[in-house]
Amino acid sequence: MIMTQSALDPLERARQVAAASRLFAAIAIVLILLNVIWIHGVAASVRALASLDHEPMLGPFWVIGAILPQIPLALPSLFLIGALEKLRDALKEYEEGRAFSLASAHAVRLSGQYAAAALIAKVVVAPIAKSILEGRYRWEFSYETTDLAWFAFALFVFALGRVLEAASAIKKENDEIV
Amino acid sequence: MTEAALAPLQRAQQLAGGAATAAVVGAVLIALGAVADGASPALDALARHQVTFDLRGLLELLRVFGLFMVLALPSFLLAGALLDLSKVLDEYGKGHFFTLKASAGIRKAAEGALYALGFKIVGSPTIYSWITQEGRGFIWHFEPFDLGLIGFAAFVAVLGRVLEAAARIKAENDEIV
């Protein structure tokens, strides 16, 4: 019985850490979103409005035309927000003591997928979009050595999500039999 | 139905075996990349300040090596985290999904990644500026994307903790049975 208590304590601690991490993930989402709005929304609009003084004939569509191409540049951050949002879903399940539910496993898998997509967007999509926007029209990549590790991490979380999904399906089936 | 439920687990087991090797290759590539990135500023510093065969030269050599280590440390830490992940994948490849070893490996890998981010954002830039005497304060090289990665790595650490606790309970149950 004492052993069981000692085994349960880490699970209780993990639940507390999950609650704190969920709050951190929410703060991270807000900060990343504010950054996206500032760089790709406000700053792009200001630039477009400034150029509007010189070319008044183009009208407000020029502003829309200036902001729309910013979307591929914002994709890495948007995908990362998606990954963090899925993490929050999984952490909520953990916080409520449902560590091995199908919902939490599904959220883990999706989080890995979004994180991998964010890294692909950071390394490939955003640099190519930038090169097109700046009129260079070249295949450009923005690659750091550490991106490879983060990509491996994202794939690992995706694979772990699949394992947990399979485990929770087996658990559900066992529960049904019992 | 059980067969259908077990099939993804078997597929994951097969994939994990290959992924463990890929993780080791990734770790080696990252370490080599870090050496290549860090060596050129260190070599530049060596070229500018000629190393002499006296105490001053030795100190200069130590300074240059310190610079290299400071620049390369985040990547080395990430490479270490990948090696931890490869051990976890190796366990998965053997079909040991919910063992204490595999779960602790996930937590360790995530903690390694968090340390790497800590060094990348504040540790390395600050120590670099102290060694090069460009500044004495704390320097931050922080991007919002890094914040997302911190959240992601922290979550993997939490996941590792949850799995570790579950593996402990499972081990205890197995002992009782």
pLDDT values of chain A reduced to their tens digit, one per residue, 178 residues: 444 555 557 677 777 878 888 888 888 889 888 988 888 778 777 777 776 665 555 566 666 766 777 788 888 889 999 999 998 898 888 888 777 788 888 999 999 999 999 999 989 888 888 888 777 777 888 877 778 888 888 888 888 888 888 888 877 777 777 6
Query: What is A63-106 written as a DSSP string?
Result: HHHHHTTHHHHHHHHHHHHHHHHHHHHHHHHHHTT-TT-HHHHH
Q: Is the pLDDT of residue B144 over 80?
A: no
* Cβ pair A158, B152 in contact under 8 A: no
3-state secondary structure at position B74? helix
Name residue, tokens 């240059």. Answer: B64
Amino acid letter, residue B174:
D
pLDDT for A2: 47
- Mutant choice from B152, B170, B172 vs A, greatest count of A C-beta within 10 A: B152
pLDDT at B26: 84
Residue range B159-175: average pLDDT?
A: 80
Q: Using the beta-carbon criterion (under 8 Å), do A122 and B145 form an inter-chain contact? A: yes
Residues 6+ apart with CB under 8 A from B165: A7, A8, A10, A11, A13, A14
B163 vs A10: CA distance, rounded Å: 10
Q: How many domains does chain B have?
A: 1
- Return the pLDDT at B42: 67
Residues B65-106: tens digit of each pLDDT: 888 888 888 889 989 998 998 888 888 888 787 788 888 888
Q: What's the gap in Å between the CA of A63 and the closest CA on chain B?
A: 25
Cα–Cα distance measured from residue A39 to residue A18, given in angstroms and rounded to the nearest whole number: 31
What is the complex's ipTM, to 2 decimals? 0.76
pLDDT at residue number A117: 93
CB B148 within 8 A of CB B80: no
Instruction: Note whether B81 contacts A: Cβ–Cβ < 8 A.
Output: yes
| Average confidence score pLDDT of chain B | 81
Among chain A residues, CA nearest to B30: A145
Q: What share of chain A is helix, strand, coil (3-state, %, to 5)?
A: 85, 0, 15
A97 touching B (Cβ < 8 Å): no
In the prediction, which pLDDT does A171 show? 74
pLDDT for A1: 42
A79: closest chain B residue by CA: B148
The amino acid that residue A53 corresponds to is: D
Which residues in chain B have Cβ-Cβ distances shorter than 8 Å to A94? Answer: 158, 162
What's residue B49's pLDDT? 63
pTM exceeds cut of 0.90: no
When mean pLDDT is compared across A100-104, A130-134, B5-9, B172-176, the lowest value belongs to B5-9
For the cut 70, the answer to whether the pLDDT of residue B177 exceeds it is no
Q: Does B94 touch chain A (CB under 8 A)?
A: no
Q: Which of B5, B151, B168 sits opposite A7 (nearest CB)?
A: B168
Average pLDDT over residues B30-52: 74
* B45 has pLDDT over 80: no
- For residue range B98-123, list pLDDT tens digits in order: 788 888 888 899 999 999 999 988 88
Whole-number Cα distances in Å, B166 to A173, B45, B149, B169: 19, 51, 26, 5
> What pLDDT score was predicted for residue A79?
92
What the block records as the tokens of B147 is 């914040």
- Residue B160: both structure tokens together: 């590792």
Task: Read off the amino acid at residue A64.
Answer: I
Task: Return the higher-pLDDT residue of B47 and B20.
Answer: B20
